[in-house]
Amino acid sequence: MVTIYDIAEKANVSAMTVSKVINNTGRISEQTRKRVKKVMEELNYIPNSNARSLVLQQTQILSLLITDITNPFYTSLARGAEDSAKKLGYRLLFGNSDEDYDKEQDYVDMILSTRVDGVLFAPAGDHSLKHLEKLRAHNIPFVIMDRAVPGIESDIVSGDSMQGARNLVDYLISLGHRRIALVNGSLDVSTARLRYQGYAEALQLHGIALDDRLVIHKSYREYKDEDQLPHLLEQPSPPTAIFAANNFLAVGVINALRQRGIRVPEDMSVVCFDDLDLSSALDPFLTVAAQPAYQFGAMGIQLLVERIQGSAVPEARKIILPSELIIRSSAKTIGK
Amino acid sequence: MVTIYDIAEKANVSAMTVSKVINNTGRISEQTRKRVKKVMEELNYIPNSNARSLVLQQTQILSLLITDITNPFYTSLARGAEDSAKKLGYRLLFGNSDEDYDKEQDYVDMILSTRVDGVLFAPAGDHSLKHLEKLRAHNIPFVIMDRAVPGIESDIVSGDSMQGARNLVDYLISLGHRRIALVNGSLDVSTARLRYQGYAEALQLHGIALDDRLVIHKSYREYKDEDQLPHLLEQPSPPTAIFAANNFLAVGVINALRQRGIRVPEDMSVVCFDDLDLSSALDPFLTVAAQPAYQFGAMGIQLLVERIQGSAVPEARKIILPSELIIRSSAKTIGK
DNA sequence: AGTAATAGGGTTATCGATAACCCTAATTTA
DNA sequence: TAAATTAGGGTTATCGATAACCCTATTACT
């Protein structure tokens, strides 16, 4: 690999001069500047960012840690993050935690040893706390995405889970449903708690008693049918509608329903959080509370870079992006 | 940040000894090894990989360059790549070219300056040649994904586009279709050429004349309706079936058809390359030639790491993964 | 007992780039 | 014209880690 020393030698200057030309610092005559640049091109010089990072104590690398790249929500988020990062001159190191705390831990160590300038962090859940504390202990700026973690004050970009949940449940109620089930993520995750809360509030406001037999808290990432539908359907008074706390769960629920010969929405209404992108484009079926996932990523990187560059206010900034209720056809008036 | 020198001082040894403990090299007594390790934990030491990379001349970073993370095909590919990379102890630097040669160029420079150990490269198209040549000139190993680039011999993992296309068109013909349109990507891209070829061969084998008015070559990434459907539909003898060369185009085509009040599959059959994952899980509608995208990524990283570590045969390895025809309901017997 | 071998660990140079400071000739200024 | 600037560029140390080699007690061997 060619280094600034190679350039220096061929251009008959010192390495420092080359460095100055590269960074446009110091006083260099137009003449030598051109000569040096020409040699750089001739030799196909590419600066070694490792060396640079070592002395500058900054890498121009940000880390994006999410829980599942195959979920369209995070896919779009990643897209937004990537676009922003590129614009701002940062590279992106990528990690997928699968909502698994051990994997998340591995990535945190990787992040620390890479000396990234900052992290866009979508936590697996509440126990991500110690990972975030570790980052903080090492002075790595981060912005939390999507899920708040109790015990950590930091910049965060999240959706309005309560409002979204309330809107969905309000909508179901407006269609005449009274027995509404919630298939939720784990209560370890802030958004699951808030969606539950929004669900409960909506019911309460309409004078419907909360029935805990209609609520299941499991994982956002895997839908295991034996843990879910049977509990709901084999009840004296089964639900007429199901609110799935995210897109994955909705797909799982709908498939499981269909396998039992239960039609959606004729026999059972289903709504959920997060949209399905391509799927919805092909077949506008699922009624959802859609979140602006791309914005999550784009804004997250912006906040992060402001934080890194010190141009942010010292206080933690909390951005809450509203979700949009998109009414399609997976829910319908009860009994019709 | 704490360095090996801090450790060394506190443990009363030299920095070299610390390094030896970290890397399990050299001769260190069990006693000092323990002492050093204890100090490392106490001080929360994390090695600086920049410094390490600089002297070792290797970064343990691989680059993943794809054309669109929002396409489920690349999403799954990324997932496979990430899983493999993590298993093999590599970090992943992420880039999205959007099938844009300039963006691709930027990423190549970024890759070079990062001194990644290797690149998993999904080229935008034939003009990616110069980018690949640049990588080669700088001795960065790479494995090409999905699309061959004429002029470059290298390891490659791709699908069998001809076979897949032939299967799809065969299937349409078996349903009685004779007027079959092809909505293709740009002929700049090898897979588009091969899908075209497979399409043509299938027609020929069944004695159907190729009608170029039924073939449109545009972009895999954007479906602009005015460039597409009108040409096909406003013909003396319009097609009864459309073969879309990838999932995005299929979604575009189907939406455009529906907007015109043309039903799929009743009035027009549609099939395509690549599956839609979540979408297909929710609604098994689209008949597709599905590619094992996760395998693309996982195998790609494997080949790449073998290449980096010198355990690969010197010859370029070409892995061709078959696609699977999944018959669902977006195509049906003509006229029924 | 005297030498060779080994265990255990330290010294120094190096990877590629930059910061901080220094130097000299040419130009300006009083 | 002498002193002070300034333009243009060079020297040296440094970032954190490792390779290659060196050193000194022990221990083993003949």
Model pLDDT for residues A173-221, shown as the tens digit of each residue: 999 999 999 999 999 999 999 999 999 999 999 999 999 999 999 999 9
Domains parsed from chain A with CATH numbers: 4-47 (1.10.260.40), 58-159+292-322 (3.40.50.2300), 161-291 (3.40.50.2300)
B4 Cβ contacts chain D strand, under 7 Å = yes
B175, burial (CB in 10 Å: exposed 0-12, middle 13-18, buried 19+):
buried
Q: Please report the pLDDT score of residue B332 as a whole number.
A: 93
Question: In chain B, what is the greatest distance between 2 CA atoms, to the nearest angstrom?
Answer: 89
How many angstroms separate the CA atoms of A269 and A331, rounded? 4
Nucleotides of C under 7 A from a protein CB: 7-12, 14-21
A336 Cβ contacts chain D strand, under 7 Å = no
How many angstroms separate the CA atoms of B154 and B171, rounded? 34
A324: left (phi over 0), alpha (psi -120 to 50) or beta: beta
Q: Please report the pLDDT score of residue B48 as a whole number.
A: 97
Confidence of residue A303 (pLDDT cuts 50, 70, 90): very high
Residue B9 (CA) to nucleotide C2 (C1'), in angstroms, measures 39
Query: Quick one: which residue's CA is nearest to D6's C1'?
Result: A27
Going along chain B, which residue ranges are E strands? 61-66, 91-96, 118-121, 142-145, 156-159, 180-184, 215-217, 241-244, 269-273, 287-290, 318-321, 324-326
Q: Which of B47, B59, B96 sits opposite A50 (nearest CB)?
A: B59
A235 Cβ contacts chain C strand, under 7 Å = no
Q: Which of B49, B78, B277 sits opposite A114 (nearest CB)?
A: B49
Report yes or no: B63 and B119 within 8 Å, Cβ to Cβ. Answer: yes
Which residues of chain B lie closer than 8 angstroms to A138, CB-CB? Answer: 1, 44, 46
Which residues of chain B lie closer than 8 angstroms to A61, CB-CB? Answer: 93
Distance from the Cα of A87 to chain B's closest Cα (Å) equals: 11
How many angstroms separate the CA atoms of B210 and B203, rounded? 7
How many angstroms separate the CA atoms of B33 and B20, rounded? 9
Q: Please report the pLDDT score of residue A226 as a whole number.
A: 85
Residue A74 (CA) to nucleotide D14 (C1'), in angstroms, measures 41
A14 Cβ contacts chain D strand, under 7 Å = yes
Q: Which of A91, A98, A255 to mutate to test the interface with B (most CBs of B within 10 A)?
A: A91
- B110: closest chain A residue by CA: A91
Q: Which of B70, B113, B282 sits opposite A79 (nearest CB)?
A: B70
Residue type at B295 in one-letter notation:
Q
Sorted by sequence, the CB contacts under 8 Å of residue B215 that are 6+ apart come out as: B181, B182, B184, B196, B199
- pLDDT digit string (tens) for A47-56? 999 999 999 9
Q: Please report the pLDDT score of residue B335 as a whole number.
A: 61
Give every residue of chain B whose pLDDT is below 70, as ranges. Answer: 335-336
Confidence of residue A228 (pLDDT cuts 50, 70, 90): confident
Nucleotides of D under 7 A from a protein CB: 7-12, 14-21
- B109: closest chain A residue by CA: A46
- pLDDT digit string (tens) for A128-153? 999 999 999 999 999 999 999 999 99
pLDDT, chain A, mean: 96
A54 Cβ contacts chain D strand, under 7 Å = yes
Confidence of residue A42 (pLDDT cuts 50, 70, 90): very high
Q: Which of B54, B72, B110 sits opposite A50 (nearest CB)?
A: B54
Q: Do B138 and A93 touch (CB under 8 A)?
A: no
B10, burial (CB in 10 Å: exposed 0-12, middle 13-18, buried 19+):
middle
Q: Do B51 and A54 touch (CB under 8 A)?
A: yes
How many angstroms separate the CA atoms of A251 and A267, rounded? 16
Q: Do A82 and B92 touch (CB under 8 A)?
A: no
pLDDT at A335 over 70: no
Q: HSE (CB half, 13 Å, CA atoms) of B95?
A: 33
Instruction: Read off the pLDDT of each residue in A81-108 and give the average, rounded to a whole number.
Output: 97
